[in-house]
Amino acid sequence: MTMAPDKGNGYRPGISRRWLRVAVGAAAATATVVAGVAPVSAEPGTPAVTELAGNWAPFDRCPVDDPAMLAADGDELAALCLASSSESGTMTIGEKTVPTAGTNLQFGLLGDGVNYTAVSPEGTGIVADPVTVPGGLLNLMCPSDIPVLTALCEKAADSSLNTVVATVEPAGEPSDFSLDAGLTTGAPIVTLPVKIKLDNPLLGGNCYLGTDENPIVLHPANAAQPTLGLTRYAPDGTTDPTGVMSNIALTGADQVDDSFSVPGADGCGLFGTLDWAVDAQLGLPSPEGANSLVLHSATTTTGGFYTPENFTPDQGRRLADHWHAASN
């Protein structure tokens, strides 16, 4: 890639490495480690999505109309879109392991060439499929010598009461993005607060591990170097090797975290009367080193103008215009 801004016709030989570095680093720094832990949308429900054409398709929830995104000038500050997805993985809490499901994380990104911040879509940036825990309540909490749990285990022998759906939900905004960590392996890339909902008729519909006030805080890192790919395209989303838009994709790398602790249960059973029992059976609170997250092959895509400087002083607004045009 040897392209750089040409204020007259868009590009000329050279390279705009400043914005390429921002886009690549942002993609890596928010790679699917952020999204792959089976989170779903926070209340009041799954955010609406917009079907977009061509290479715009990954960014169907990008907050292009957020005032901060619209205000980006393309020179001092550039607006980008980010989407990250993962299809599978595992989360282990103590000796209990559950799978993760298909996930999608999206947000806008504002960068100055070195630093960048996330702009969340309205509602939440995280949506995904819930996970049915293999073996259900009988696997998570049985057998037990705790009388209350023994009674639950006996009831759970009825399959209609055994199903447990585990859902990791956002418990705050991502923070502490590290560009260098996103491009390497083994270093924490992002801080992500989450909480795990355990949905079961016997535990009730408000049983959580972690809360907004006391979340599980993930610090995922690349387990391997992701593969980098670049696609240039026209504003309408059509692939074009000289297009003014570009997507930078990072694919194929697993991501891991074994640094997080898990707080005690909250809201399990009527008025939380089963919190103590869940804690006793799962060994909660569970300290750092006793838990782990492994996310299988991830895909993270950052998209926007290939050379944002060419579109000053209203780069953010022009990004929004192209995004909306691609939805028609």
How many Cβ atoms from other residues are within 10 Å of residue 212's Cβ? 13
Dist CA 314 CA 141 (whole Å): 56
* Side chain identity at residue 292, one-letter code: S
Of 191, 171, 23, 180, residue with least CA distance to 109: 23
Dist CA 251 CA 153 (whole Å): 42
Show the low-confidence residues of the chain (pLDDT under 70).
1-49, 123-126, 128, 177-180, 182
- The residue behind tokens 């297009």 is 243
In sequence order, which residues have a C-beta less than 8 Å from that of residue 19 and are 6 or more positions away? Answer: 78, 111, 113, 305, 306, 307, 308, 309
- The residue behind tokens 């782990």 is 292
Dist CA 4 CA 306 (whole Å): 9
pLDDT of residue 47: 53
pLDDT of residue 43: 41
pLDDT of residue 31: 39
DSSP 76-145: SSEEEEEEEEE--EEEEETTEEEEE--EEEEEEEEE-SS-EEEEPPSS-SEEE--EEPTTHHHHHH-S-S
The token duo for 158 is 């009825």
pLDDT of residue 178: 67
* Side chain identity at residue 45, one-letter code: G
- Per the CB < 8 A criterion, the answer to whether 323 and 52 are in contact is yes
> Taking the alpha carbons of 55, 58, 62, 65 in that order, is the dihedral positive or negative?
positive
pLDDT of residue 30: 41
pLDDT of residue 14: 30
pLDDT of residue 49: 67
Dist CA 151 CA 153 (whole Å): 5
At 51 the three-state DSSP class reads: coil
- Per the CB < 8 A criterion, the answer to whether 89 and 293 are in contact is yes
In sequence order, which residues have a C-beta less than 8 Å from that of residue 318 and are 6 or more positions away? Answer: 305, 311
pLDDT of residue 264: 95
What's the Rg (C-alpha) of the chain? 22
* Side chain identity at residue 80, one-letter code: L
Distance spanning both ends of the chain, measured CA to CA = 31
Dist CA 210 CA 215 (whole Å): 5
Dist CA 35 CA 251 (whole Å): 14
**pTM of this structure:** 0.77
DSSP 142-184: -S-SSHHHHHHHHHHTSHHHH--EEEEEE-S--B---HHHHTS
pLDDT of residue 233: 98
pLDDT of residue 226: 86
